[in-house]
Structure 1
Amino acid sequence: MSAPLAVQLWSVHTLAGRDLPGVLGRVAEIGFAAVEPISLYGRSPAQFRSLTDGFGLEICSAHAPFPAGDDGERTLDTYEELGVDTLVWSLEPEELATRDTMLRGLERVNDGARRAARRGMAIAYHNHFAEFTASYDGELAYDALLAALDPSVVIELDMYWVAVAGLDPAAVAARLGPRVRLLHAKDGPARGMSDQMVALGDGTLDVGAAVRACSALDWCIVELDRTAGDMFEALARSADHLTRRGLAHGRAGAGPAARPHSKEDL
């Protein structure tokens, strides 16, 4: 069975800052079932949730700092009110430079996981490419990181950055098995951080192989960091690429999106 289809709002981050209801309306009209926010765009959790509910969109997960340290409980308060059960974030590349710096970075990941678990929430770890280019005495940094993570931490695999590091995303996904619960699906030349990304199926990655290799996927999340063309067109073509091939399924009954019910929702 295919996973439901979501979109990471980083793809339209600038536009969402200007007109969040308009962006959510376009996303819903394309047929995405959910969004993964990286910001609430000046809204309270209740206001943001009212908007997504009004457009028939779920919130599959959210990118937010690991809920550790002094601000940890406030972060959890915010996202618990939003109704999000999985918070996702990454270590910085410099934290992956040595095994010691990586282990120190994981202290806040594991602290966040313990705090989240007390509220019935989960933490997911999102990779970039440094996890797959750094190594410690011959051990891939990503493998060392996974071994030291709290077992409750799940994986959001970003297939694109795996490819940038020179590895096969499908092989990595298959090796990680059921711990991969979220997938960032994207496509492009897979050369580096400044890549202009393209609609899924138009680039160098074998999107289908990567998606099919995820054995326990909860959400297939399209993210295009930047594109030279129209972002909504690229997102629509990406959604079509996934759904027509049975790799993911969109929102049931998707069509012209409803508008918010009141000015308070804005």
Structure 2
Amino acid sequence: MTNPAISIQLWTVRDELTADLDGTLAKLSAIGFRNVEAFGFVSRADELAEAFARHGISSPTGHASLASGTENPFDSSIAVPTPEEVFAAANKLGMTTVFDPFVAPDRWETLEEITKTADALNAAAAIGATYGVKVGYHNHNQEFLKKIDGRFPLEVFAELLDPAVGLELDLYWASAGGADVVALLDGLGDRVVALHVKDGTLEPLPSLGEIPTDQVPAGEGVVALTDALDAARFAEYAIIEFDAYPGDIWQGVTTGYEFLSARGLV
């Protein structure tokens, strides 16, 4: 395996960030995080860049819609930024890769729809290249729930992407969709450039579109995180994330960081 850098998706501490941006970043830095993955960064790139600099934090990756069309996939009344706006903001933050975090479930049911999504992301990648920013895609479970010619839609999708477009494999959501994440990583090879290191009991199995209730700190659930880290030979980042966590979020984040650092990741 490579030795991916530890990071955290800031969605994990979204409420804390809203209440106290500097205090939250200070806590992440004290735990040991030197990298974060930003979300919703286009409208606040200057503010985030200044805050990250104050706390010695970098944001080499981020999440922003690129293949979802002109409407926010979660709220159709909100227009998404243009690719040019996304990449300009990414440059302000020093990002090297922007991952599209969500494409609606109905766009993973047929080869035609999967091809449209791949074409849209390839087009965004061509724009990103002019800004020096790479593009990728982050999965949930909808990319695994219906097979296309015996293969998961994400596998079909990967073959339709430009070679420069990477994947950020969310290990929890892939497992929730029924994938063997080690076999999946073996098959996807160098397409997987980042991992979301996320664990859960998968009881109950999360339903499509619902907030999971089973997530636990990394290493305490049934997701094959250790084997997946070994299989992710080309991953550059190992990113802690909780979609939802009923306990003390800081305890959960710290446990995840310790799980990765015990493996020699920094």
Q: TM-score, normalised by structure 1?
A: 0.87
Helix, strand or coil at the partner of 2:6: strand
Tell me the equivalent position of 1:72. Answer: 83
How far off is 1:41 after superposition? 9.1
Aligned length in residues: 247
Tell me the equivalent position of 2:55. Answer: 55
> Could you list the runs of 4 or more consecutive aligned residues of structure 1 that deviate by over 4 angstroms after TM superposition?
67-70
How far off is 1:135 after superposition? 2.0
- Comparing 45-54 and 227-236, the one that deviates more: 45-54
Q: Does 1:242 align with 2:243?
A: no
Q: 1:4-19 alignment to 2 at 5 Å? A: 4-19=5-20
Q: 1:65-144 alignment to 2 at 5 Å? A: 65-66=65-66, 71-89=82-100, 90-144=102-156
How far off is 1:40 after superposition? 3.3
Q: Which runs of 5+ in 2 are unaligned?
A: 71-80
Letter in 2 for 1:77: A
How far off is 1:183 after superposition? 0.5
Q: Does 1:197 align with 2:209?
A: no
Helix, strand or coil at the partner of 2:196: strand
Distance in 2 of aligned mates of 1:129 and 1:5: 23
Name which of 162, 176, 179 aligns with 1:167. Answer: 179
Assess if the C-alpha contact under 8 Å between 2:60 and 2:95 holds in 1: yes
Deviations 1:202-240 (A, max 9, x none): 111221111111111211100111111011110001111
Letter in 2 for 1:215: R
How far off is 1:42 after superposition? 6.1
Letter in 2 for 1:53: A
Distance in 2 of aligned mates of 1:120 and 1:11: 27
How far off is 1:125 after superposition? 1.0
Tell me the equivalent position of 1:37. Answer: 38
Distance in 1 of aligned mates of 2:184 and 2:155: 11
How far off is 1:243 after superposition? 0.9
Tell me the equivalent position of 2:161. Answer: 149
Q: Which runs of 5+ in 1 are unaligned?
A: 250-266
Deviations 1:135-181 (A, max 9, x none): 22333212221111122101101011111012221221122112211
Assess if the C-alpha contact under 8 Å between 1:17 and 1:41 holds in 2: no
Letter in 2 for 1:4: A
Distance in 1 of aligned mates of 2:230 and 2:53: 30
- Comparing 33-42 and 108-117, the one that deviates more: 33-42
Distance in 2 of aligned mates of 1:222 and 1:91: 21
Tell me the equivalent position of 1:257. Answer: none
Q: CA RMSD in A?
A: 1.9
Tell me the equivalent position of 1:221. Answer: 239
State the structure with bigger RCO (CA 8 A, min sep 6), 1 or 2.
1
Helix, strand or coil at the partner of 2:169: strand
